[in-house]
Structure 1
Amino acid sequence: MSVLKGANLALMFSLELAVLGSALWWGASVSAPLAVRITAAVAAAAMFVVVWALFGAAKDAKYPQTGWRRVALEVCWFGAAAILLGFAWTPWAGMVLFAVWLANGALRLVWGQQQL
Protein backbone atom coordinates (compact mmCIF):
# COMPACT_ATOMS: atom_id res chain seq x y z
CA MET A 1 0.00 0.00 0.00
CA SER A 2 2.89 2.37 0.71
CA VAL A 3 3.96 2.07 -2.93
CA LEU A 4 0.52 3.25 -4.05
CA LYS A 5 0.59 6.13 -1.58
CA GLY A 6 4.01 7.16 -2.86
CA ALA A 7 2.79 6.92 -6.44
CA ASN A 8 -0.18 9.12 -5.55
CA LEU A 9 2.14 11.78 -4.12
CA ALA A 10 4.31 11.55 -7.23
CA LEU A 11 1.18 12.01 -9.31
CA MET A 12 0.34 15.13 -7.30
CA PHE A 13 3.77 16.56 -8.09
CA SER A 14 3.31 15.67 -11.76
CA LEU A 15 -0.07 17.43 -11.73
CA GLU A 16 1.54 20.53 -10.25
CA LEU A 17 4.07 20.50 -13.09
CA ALA A 18 1.21 19.98 -15.57
CA VAL A 19 -0.40 23.16 -14.25
CA LEU A 20 2.76 25.12 -15.05
CA GLY A 21 2.99 23.43 -18.43
CA SER A 22 -0.62 24.32 -19.17
CA ALA A 23 0.03 27.97 -18.35
CA LEU A 24 3.14 28.04 -20.53
CA TRP A 25 1.40 26.28 -23.40
CA TRP A 26 -1.58 28.62 -23.22
CA GLY A 27 0.68 31.67 -23.34
CA ALA A 28 2.64 30.26 -26.26
CA SER A 29 -0.57 29.54 -28.20
CA VAL A 30 -2.05 33.03 -27.96
CA SER A 31 -2.64 34.63 -31.36
CA ALA A 32 -0.17 37.47 -31.04
CA PRO A 33 3.37 38.44 -31.95
CA LEU A 34 6.16 36.32 -30.53
CA ALA A 35 7.12 38.81 -27.82
CA VAL A 36 3.55 38.90 -26.54
CA ARG A 37 3.31 35.10 -26.54
CA ILE A 38 6.54 34.76 -24.57
CA THR A 39 5.41 37.42 -22.11
CA ALA A 40 1.99 35.77 -21.70
CA ALA A 41 3.54 32.35 -21.15
CA VAL A 42 6.03 33.55 -18.56
CA ALA A 43 3.49 35.78 -16.77
CA ALA A 44 0.85 33.04 -16.59
CA ALA A 45 3.31 30.49 -15.23
CA ALA A 46 4.72 33.04 -12.78
CA MET A 47 1.23 33.81 -11.48
CA PHE A 48 0.59 30.13 -10.81
CA VAL A 49 3.99 29.76 -9.10
CA VAL A 50 3.39 32.75 -6.82
CA VAL A 51 -0.08 31.59 -5.78
CA TRP A 52 1.17 28.07 -5.05
CA ALA A 53 4.24 29.31 -3.18
CA LEU A 54 2.16 31.61 -0.99
CA PHE A 55 -0.77 29.32 -0.27
CA GLY A 56 -0.36 25.77 -1.55
CA ALA A 57 3.20 24.48 -1.20
CA ALA A 58 3.25 21.36 0.94
CA LYS A 59 5.81 22.40 3.54
CA ASP A 60 6.95 25.93 2.77
CA ALA A 61 3.76 27.89 2.03
CA LYS A 62 3.90 31.36 3.52
CA TYR A 63 0.16 31.23 4.29
CA PRO A 64 -0.72 27.51 4.37
CA GLN A 65 -4.36 26.72 3.79
CA THR A 66 -6.34 23.94 5.47
CA GLY A 67 -9.91 22.75 5.44
CA TRP A 68 -12.33 24.26 2.96
CA ARG A 69 -9.80 26.97 2.07
CA ARG A 70 -7.34 24.32 0.86
CA VAL A 71 -10.09 22.65 -1.15
CA ALA A 72 -11.09 25.99 -2.70
CA LEU A 73 -7.44 26.79 -3.49
CA GLU A 74 -6.88 23.49 -5.26
CA VAL A 75 -10.18 23.64 -7.15
CA CYS A 76 -9.36 27.15 -8.39
CA TRP A 77 -5.70 26.40 -9.12
CA PHE A 78 -6.22 23.14 -10.98
CA GLY A 79 -9.49 24.37 -12.49
CA ALA A 80 -7.79 27.43 -13.97
CA ALA A 81 -5.05 25.24 -15.40
CA ALA A 82 -7.66 22.91 -16.90
CA ILE A 83 -9.36 25.88 -18.54
CA LEU A 84 -6.08 27.17 -19.95
CA LEU A 85 -5.22 23.70 -21.24
CA GLY A 86 -8.67 23.50 -22.80
CA PHE A 87 -8.08 26.79 -24.61
CA ALA A 88 -4.55 25.89 -25.67
CA TRP A 89 -5.24 22.37 -26.89
CA THR A 90 -8.69 20.82 -26.56
CA PRO A 91 -11.43 20.95 -23.93
CA TRP A 92 -11.08 17.21 -23.42
CA ALA A 93 -7.48 17.65 -22.31
CA GLY A 94 -8.57 20.17 -19.70
CA MET A 95 -11.31 17.87 -18.47
CA VAL A 96 -8.88 14.96 -18.21
CA LEU A 97 -6.42 17.08 -16.22
CA PHE A 98 -9.17 18.11 -13.81
CA ALA A 99 -10.53 14.55 -13.51
CA VAL A 100 -7.08 13.14 -12.73
CA TRP A 101 -6.58 15.85 -10.09
CA LEU A 102 -10.00 15.06 -8.61
CA ALA A 103 -9.18 11.34 -8.33
CA ASN A 104 -5.76 12.18 -6.87
CA GLY A 105 -7.33 14.51 -4.32
CA ALA A 106 -9.87 11.90 -3.29
CA LEU A 107 -7.12 9.33 -2.75
CA ARG A 108 -5.05 11.85 -0.77
CA LEU A 109 -8.03 12.38 1.52
CA VAL A 110 -8.81 8.68 1.90
CA TRP A 111 -5.19 7.80 2.58
CA GLY A 112 -4.59 10.71 4.95
CA GLN A 113 -2.05 12.37 2.67
CA GLN A 114 -3.82 15.72 2.83
CA GLN A 115 -4.07 17.77 5.97
CA LEU A 116 -7.51 19.30 6.04
Structure 2
Amino acid sequence: MLALAKNSNALLMFLLELGVLVSAGYWGFTVSPHWGLKLLAGLGGPALLVLAWALFGAGGGANATFPLTGPARAVLEILWFGGGALALYASGLVTSAAVFSVLFVVNAVLRIVWNEV
Protein backbone atom coordinates (compact mmCIF):
# COMPACT_ATOMS: atom_id res chain seq x y z
CA MET A 1 0.00 0.00 0.00
CA LEU A 2 2.86 2.35 0.80
CA ALA A 3 4.40 1.64 -2.60
CA LEU A 4 1.16 2.70 -4.28
CA ALA A 5 1.10 5.93 -2.28
CA LYS A 6 4.73 6.68 -3.17
CA ASN A 7 4.10 5.97 -6.85
CA SER A 8 1.02 8.19 -6.75
CA ASN A 9 3.07 10.98 -5.20
CA ALA A 10 5.72 10.58 -7.92
CA LEU A 11 2.97 10.84 -10.53
CA LEU A 12 1.66 13.96 -8.79
CA MET A 13 5.11 15.53 -8.95
CA PHE A 14 5.37 14.78 -12.67
CA LEU A 15 1.92 16.28 -13.27
CA LEU A 16 2.90 19.35 -11.23
CA GLU A 17 6.05 19.71 -13.35
CA LEU A 18 3.89 19.68 -16.48
CA GLY A 19 1.48 22.05 -14.76
CA VAL A 20 4.24 24.63 -14.40
CA LEU A 21 4.79 24.57 -18.16
CA VAL A 22 1.08 24.81 -18.90
CA SER A 23 0.71 27.64 -16.39
CA ALA A 24 3.59 29.58 -17.92
CA GLY A 25 2.17 29.09 -21.40
CA TYR A 26 -1.30 30.16 -20.32
CA TRP A 27 0.12 33.25 -18.62
CA GLY A 28 2.13 34.08 -21.73
CA PHE A 29 -0.93 33.99 -23.95
CA THR A 30 -2.83 36.28 -21.56
CA VAL A 31 -0.05 38.78 -20.88
CA SER A 32 -0.75 41.17 -23.76
CA PRO A 33 -3.35 41.96 -26.41
CA HIS A 34 -0.61 41.91 -29.07
CA TRP A 35 -0.19 38.55 -30.81
CA GLY A 36 3.55 38.91 -31.26
CA LEU A 37 4.08 39.31 -27.54
CA LYS A 38 1.56 36.55 -26.79
CA LEU A 39 3.49 34.13 -28.99
CA LEU A 40 6.83 35.17 -27.57
CA ALA A 41 5.71 34.85 -23.94
CA GLY A 42 3.35 31.90 -24.46
CA LEU A 43 5.92 29.76 -26.24
CA GLY A 44 9.18 31.30 -25.02
CA GLY A 45 8.34 31.19 -21.32
CA PRO A 46 7.73 27.43 -21.21
CA ALA A 47 10.74 26.84 -23.48
CA LEU A 48 13.01 28.67 -21.03
CA LEU A 49 11.52 26.72 -18.15
CA VAL A 50 12.13 23.42 -19.97
CA LEU A 51 15.75 24.44 -20.46
CA ALA A 52 16.16 25.36 -16.78
CA TRP A 53 14.56 22.10 -15.63
CA ALA A 54 16.69 20.03 -18.00
CA LEU A 55 19.84 21.71 -16.73
CA PHE A 56 19.14 21.57 -13.00
CA GLY A 57 16.11 19.49 -12.01
CA ALA A 58 15.20 16.71 -14.46
CA GLY A 59 14.54 13.29 -12.99
CA GLY A 60 14.91 14.46 -9.43
CA GLY A 61 18.34 15.70 -10.42
CA ALA A 62 19.48 12.29 -11.65
CA ASN A 63 19.01 13.19 -15.33
CA ALA A 64 19.92 16.87 -15.04
CA THR A 65 23.03 18.26 -16.70
CA PHE A 66 23.99 20.07 -13.48
CA PRO A 67 22.03 18.24 -10.77
CA LEU A 68 21.23 20.16 -7.61
CA THR A 69 20.93 18.54 -4.21
CA GLY A 70 20.10 19.60 -0.68
CA PRO A 71 19.18 23.24 -0.08
CA ALA A 72 19.93 24.21 -3.70
CA ARG A 73 17.42 21.61 -4.90
CA ALA A 74 14.84 22.91 -2.43
CA VAL A 75 15.33 26.46 -3.71
CA LEU A 76 14.99 25.24 -7.30
CA GLU A 77 11.72 23.46 -6.52
CA ILE A 78 10.30 26.41 -4.61
CA LEU A 79 11.14 28.76 -7.49
CA TRP A 80 9.92 26.30 -10.15
CA PHE A 81 6.60 25.33 -8.59
CA GLY A 82 6.11 28.76 -7.03
CA GLY A 83 6.59 30.21 -10.51
CA GLY A 84 3.82 27.97 -11.79
CA ALA A 85 1.48 29.12 -9.06
CA LEU A 86 2.48 32.74 -9.64
CA ALA A 87 1.80 32.39 -13.37
CA LEU A 88 -1.69 31.10 -12.60
CA TYR A 89 -2.26 33.94 -10.15
CA ALA A 90 -1.02 36.55 -12.64
CA SER A 91 -3.39 35.10 -15.23
CA GLY A 92 -6.31 35.72 -12.88
CA LEU A 93 -6.76 32.08 -11.89
CA VAL A 94 -6.49 32.66 -8.14
CA THR A 95 -8.23 29.46 -7.04
CA SER A 96 -6.14 27.37 -9.43
CA ALA A 97 -2.99 29.02 -8.08
CA ALA A 98 -4.01 28.17 -4.51
CA VAL A 99 -4.81 24.54 -5.38
CA PHE A 100 -1.53 24.21 -7.27
CA SER A 101 0.39 25.58 -4.28
CA VAL A 102 -1.32 23.23 -1.83
CA LEU A 103 -0.66 20.22 -4.06
CA PHE A 104 3.03 21.15 -4.28
CA VAL A 105 3.34 21.53 -0.51
CA VAL A 106 1.62 18.17 0.11
CA ASN A 107 3.84 16.52 -2.50
CA ALA A 108 7.00 18.03 -1.03
CA VAL A 109 6.10 17.10 2.56
CA LEU A 110 5.38 13.50 1.56
CA ARG A 111 8.68 13.27 -0.33
CA ILE A 112 10.50 14.56 2.77
CA VAL A 113 8.65 12.16 5.09
CA TRP A 114 9.40 9.24 2.79
CA ASN A 115 13.02 10.38 2.35
CA GLU A 116 12.62 10.72 -1.43
CA VAL A 117 14.34 14.09 -1.84
Report the TM-score when normalising by structure 2: 0.92
Question: In the alignment, what sits opposite 1:37?
Answer: 38
Q: Does 1:9 align with 2:10?
A: yes
Q: 5+ residue gaps in structure 2?
A: none
| Match for residue 63 of structure 1 among 56, 66, 71 | 66
Cα displacement (A) at 1:47? 1.3
Cα displacement (A) at 1:12? 0.3
Cα displacement (A) at 1:36? 1.7
May I ask how many residue pairs the two structures share in their alignment?
A: 114
Cα displacement (A) at 1:102? 0.9
| Match for residue 75 of structure 1 among 75, 78, 86 | 78
Cα displacement (A) at 1:113? 1.8
Q: 5+ residue gaps in structure 1?
A: none
Q: Distance in 1 between matches of 2:92 and 2:20?
A: 14
Question: In the alignment, what sits opposite 2:115?
Answer: 112
Report the TM-score when normalising by structure 1: 0.92
Cα displacement (A) at 1:91? 2.2
Q: Distance in 1 between matches of 2:66 and 2:88?
A: 27
CA RMSD of aligned residues (A): 1.1
Identity of aligned residues (%): 38
Q: Distance in 1 between matches of 2:88 and 2:19?
A: 9
Deviation track 1:63-103 (CA, whole Å, cap 9, x = no partner) reads: 11111101011001111111111111322321221111011
* Runs of 4+ that moved beyond 6 A: none
Question: In the alignment, what sits opposite 2:100?
Answer: 97
